[in-house]
Amino acid sequence: MPAPLSARSPALCALGCAILLLAAPAWAGRCVDEESPDPAPDTSTAAEVAAAQNPLDPRTVMQNLVRDALARSLGIGAAELQAQAALDDIQETIATRKLQASASAGLGPGGSQSLAGTEVSPFQLRGSVTVGQLLYDGGRTDRLVDWRTQLAESARQGHLTAREQLALNAVSLALERNRYRQHVLVYGQYVRKMGCLVDALETIIKADRGRASELVQARKTLLQAEMSQTQAASQARQVEVKLRRLVGDGLPPVRGVSGLLLQVPALESLLPEVERSSEIAGMTAQAQAAADYARSIEAGNKPQLSWNLSGSESLARSRVSGAGSSTVRSGQFSLGLAVNVPLLNPGVANATDAARKRARAADLQRDDALEARRFRMAEVHEQTLSSFDRMRRTAAVLRDSELVRNFTLQQWQQLGKRSLFDVMGAEAEHYNLRISYINALCDGQQMNANLLSLGRGVTEWLR
């Protein structure tokens, strides 16, 4: 490796410093905007351009993003239809207690036999009407209504859970998109910084050919920075593809997203919200539905009382044995109460026990899910605090890194007391710290969103 400029002959040292000082104004002019956004070709969508001209509050932008995702999702539409179908099931069960009527008709041969003889009819027209209503069934219908009601509540909570999961996914993708776009900006600044070093070294080696290896090293670092920027841009585009799958082509801008979800609520205030989550509420409804179904099976073994009115009439061309044919018209009706008393049903006890055990199992599953969710919330809360703590500590290190890189560059540029490798090492450390800061910030935001989703939900937070 070539020796530092200060270790060479005084003449070369003086010459190199003179070249650096002469080139410094032009070099500084080219690098004055190194911390500004990368002036890459504008690929913004029409929605992003309009949002840039009329900026909205980042929270409002996120609300619109979630709203578009919910409106576009076919899965949410299917879950909503399932909830509506469950409400119709309730009405169907309630209708079994109302007045019932039926009519029937038949056409074909028929006959009858009695002490007076055998009557045969090759052509017979028959019709009947039955009207009835259930009066008492031991509470079975009421328990079935309760069962259907809890199933409908479970379906409604399932719809809310699907909405919450989609909202969390949309928010997480928006934060991830912001992460990689910030990566692109930082790596773009790194590329420009390395480009400035390459330009400076090209000027230096015109007078000191012995430093050509430093130029090669700077170009290599420049290519690595460009590769990192290209990879970050590709990752940003991949996230945007996933986001378009949820919300369509009108992607919102990322401006201001870094200021969302920075406040971490206290764990003591979050734990009571676990039971309010739609997933736990849905499991509670399922457990209650299983208990109501067990009671309906038990009530099915009780007496049933109903009233009914029935009437029938037939018109036939009959032939009686020992006589000629004739047209016969006959009819009958009945009105009264009907009592149905189950006397022997050996399987009902087993069916009732099985339903009760399933209800108890549903209760235990709900309790287990609730406990797991509480511990998961405590874990995510700690991860969130850790991410934001890492962000703050990285910011403190980043401030010192900024001073180090400036001093190192100044000593190399003006005094010749540092090698190029010191400069590039300080620059690489600085930009890696900036990437670490962005990652810690985005990780904390995403963890915070997950934390809210375990309780009242991201959708509630957005409102």
Residues in the chain: 463
Residue 193 lies in a domain: yes
Residue 73 binned pLDDT confidence (cut-offs 50, 70, 90): very high
How large is the average pLDDT for residues 5-16?
Answer: 42
Tokens 């850790």 -> residue: 386
Residue 98 lies in a domain: no
Residue 231 confidence (pLDDT): 97
Percentage above 70 pLDDT, the chain: 83
Mean of all residue pLDDT scores within the chain: 84
DSSP 102-128: EEEEEEEEEEEEETTEEEEEEEEEEEE
Query: Looking at per-residue confidence, does 263 or 36 come out higher?
Result: 263
Residue 243 confidence (pLDDT): 95
For 333, other C-beta atoms within 10 Å of its C-beta total 11
Residue 215 CB partners (closer than 8 Å, separation 6+): 198, 201, 202, 205
Residue 112 confidence (pLDDT): 66
pLDDT for residue 347 is more than 80: yes
pLDDT for residue 260 is more than 60: yes
Token pair of 123 as six digits: 């052509």
Q: Is the CB of residue 442 less than 8 Å from the CB of residue 176?
A: yes
Residue numbers of the domain that contains 32: 5-72+141-298+360-462
Residue 414 confidence (pLDDT): 75
Residue 232 lies in a domain: yes
Q: Are strands 100-114 and 325-340 parallel, antiparallel or unpaired?
A: unpaired
How large is the average pLDDT for residues 155-175?
Answer: 95
For 32, other C-beta atoms within 10 Å of its C-beta total 10
Residue 38 confidence (pLDDT): 45
Q: What is the pLDDT of residues 262-313, one digit of tens each?
A: 999 999 999 999 998 999 999 999 999 999 999 999 998 899 999 998 988 8
Token pair of 174 as six digits: 């928006």
Residue 409 confidence (pLDDT): 83
How large is the average pLDDT for residues 310-325?
Answer: 68
Residue 59 lies in a domain: yes
- Lowest-pLDDT range of 52-56, 193-197, 365-369: 52-56
Token pair of 223 as six digits: 């290519």
Determine phi and psi for 316, rounding to 5 degrees.
Answer: -140, 150
Which CATH number covers residue 230? 1.20.1600.10
Residue 123 lies in a domain: no
Residue 52 binned pLDDT confidence (cut-offs 50, 70, 90): low
pLDDT for residue 335 is more than 60: yes
CA–CA separation, 108 and 121 (whole Å)? 9
Residue 454 confidence (pLDDT): 93
Q: What is the pLDDT of residues 204-232, one digit of tens each?
A: 888 777 778 888 888 999 999 999 999 99
Residue 441 binned pLDDT confidence (cut-offs 50, 70, 90): very high
CA–CA separation, 103 and 313 (whole Å)? 12
Q: Which residues pair with 325 in a beta bridge?
A: 319
Q: How many structural domains is the chain composed of?
A: 1
Q: What is the pLDDT of residues 388-403, one digit of tens each?
A: 999 999 999 999 999 9
Q: Is the CB of residue 222 less than 8 Å from the CB of residue 236?
A: no
How large is the average pLDDT for residues 25-42?
Answer: 46
CA–CA separation, 108 and 355 (whole Å)? 47
What is the b/e burial string over 369-397, where b = at least 16 CB atoms within 10 angstroms of the residue's CB? Answer: bbeebbeebeebbebbbebbebbeebeee
Residue 213 CB partners (closer than 8 Å, separation 6+): 1, 2
What is the b/e burial string over 60-71, where b = at least 16 CB atoms within 10 angstroms of the residue's CB? Answer: ebbbbbbebbbe
Residue 332 binned pLDDT confidence (cut-offs 50, 70, 90): confident
Q: Is the CB of residue 368 less than 8 Å from the CB of residue 283?
A: no
Residue 22 binned pLDDT confidence (cut-offs 50, 70, 90): very low
SS3 of residue 194 by DSSP: helix
CA–CA separation, 228 and 432 (whole Å)? 11
Residue 232 confidence (pLDDT): 97
**Residue 38: left (phi > 0), alpha (psi -120 to 50), or beta?**
beta
Residue 243 lies in a domain: yes
How large is the average pLDDT for residues 81-93?
Answer: 95
CA–CA separation, 15 and 26 (whole Å)? 18
pLDDT for residue 319 is more than 70: no
Residue 253 confidence (pLDDT): 81
Q: What are the distances in angstroms from CA 446 to CA 10, 100, 387, 443, 449?
A: 57, 57, 10, 5, 5
Residue 12 binned pLDDT confidence (cut-offs 50, 70, 90): very low
pLDDT for residue 353 is more than 60: yes
Residue 211 confidence (pLDDT): 76
Residue 121 binned pLDDT confidence (cut-offs 50, 70, 90): confident
CA–CA separation, 243 and 45 (whole Å)? 14
Residue 20 lies in a domain: yes
Residue 87 CB partners (closer than 8 Å, separation 6+): 152
Q: Is the CB of residue 405 less than 8 Å from the CB of residue 197?
A: no
Residue 56 lies in a domain: yes
